[in-house]
Amino acid sequence: MKTVCLILLFVSHLAAADQRDWTDKTTLHRGKKLHFRVLEGRRNDVILFESGGGDTVSVWRDLLPLIEETTGATLVTYDRPGFGESEIDPEHHGFADDLERLESGLKELGYGGTYTLVAHSLGGFYATTFASRHPDQVKAAVLIDVNLACFFTEELLESLRSSEAQLQEYRSSDLARYYFSIDFEPMARTMRNVKFPEGIPVIDFVAGRRDFPKAEDGQRWKACHAAFAAESGNRTEITAYAGHYIYRSNPEMIVAAVNAAHLVTQGVLQPALLYAVTALNEVKRKDEQFAHSEDGLNQWGYDLLRAGSKKEAMKIFELNSVLHPSSWHVWDSLAEGYEGLGDVASALRNYRIALEIHPGAKHAAERIRLLQGSMK
């Protein structure tokens, strides 16, 4: 009961979060602009967000007001060079230059003090390097299915390499993709020699539902995260019941994790919040199990029927009969759907299947009797 109350109180607080406006800011480095989007809070208390490859500040839009409301920190997001509103510098591009521009921009804007890092996907490389360069300022991190160096073997890097023809096409049509393509391999190799400081507490989320071209790639991804978590007692690994964009599938859980990490930067340990993270993850697991279960699909079908979406309901009932052919309930529901469409013959056929599976199916037997009587 305490767990349920904690989750309900936390989620209700998030729902009531003040949707404050953010501020767009631009800094210049060697004449090229870097675009930041910021929610102002305490200036020496910064939560810095590192997005995935190709993503912009917009991906954090729904999380920022919730996190600002519950932490009071300054939230800083930015577009990497070539993406969003940030400009590419053809003379100075690549991983090291990106980080130099970020650090220069943060200094120009006056954001310093302590940092909590929140990173997704490719942003893991940037967060790891930022933490290694500022170990005294970075106090905690939340990593969301991030890139880790051990995943990118030479064989994988070779398979990801763009052909010369592709590069020329990118160069003429998509400069951001062109520079990303030529810069990624050096970045991945550089990261083999960069370590996340062991003294910084980390909550490391790994996507539990993620497809890779090869099964061994998925196994290596998980193994890399397990090894990363095992390197320090300060690291907590959580397998999320979600795909790669965990913060979209379960935003409440990520907000709880960021709050827990941020409190660490303030010298406060709050085990209840970390407990809320695992509890919210478990809620998502149960929701997904129900959504794909026989009862969950059946409920979805009846909800559609009640809403007047009969054809859509039939698709769900038909799917359920394919997934759960030995259950008399699904055939009874499918028959009821056909009956709602006025297809008496199909309704009778499926009611009879339900009755064959379970001779005690009273509803099916009664509907057969009534439908046969109406046909005389």
Question: For the whole model, what pTM was predicted?
Answer: 0.75
CA 362 to chain centre: 45
Is CATH 1.25.40.10 correct for 293-374?
yes
Strand 114-120 to strand 42-50: parallel, antiparallel, or no bridges (unpaired)? parallel
Record: fold of 2-287: Rossmann fold (3.40.50)
Contacts of 301 (CB under 8 A, 6+ apart): 313, 314, 316, 317, 320, 333, 337
Domain spans in the chain, listed from the N-terminal domain onward: 2-287, 293-374
CA dist 14 and 7 (Å) reads 11
| Model pLDDT, residue 13 | 47
The tens digit of pLDDT for each residue in 315-348 reads: 888 888 888 899 998 999 999 999 888 899 999 9
2-287 and 293-374, same CATH topology = no
> Taking 90 as the threshold, does the pLDDT of residue 65 lie above it?
no
The tens digit of pLDDT for each residue in 132-181 reads: 999 999 999 999 999 999 999 999 999 999 999 999 999 999 999 999 99
| Model pLDDT, residue 126 | 98
Paired with 235 in beta bridges are 202
Q: Is 110 exposed, middle or buried (0-12, 13-18, 19+ CB in 10 A)?
A: exposed
| Model pLDDT, residue 340 | 86
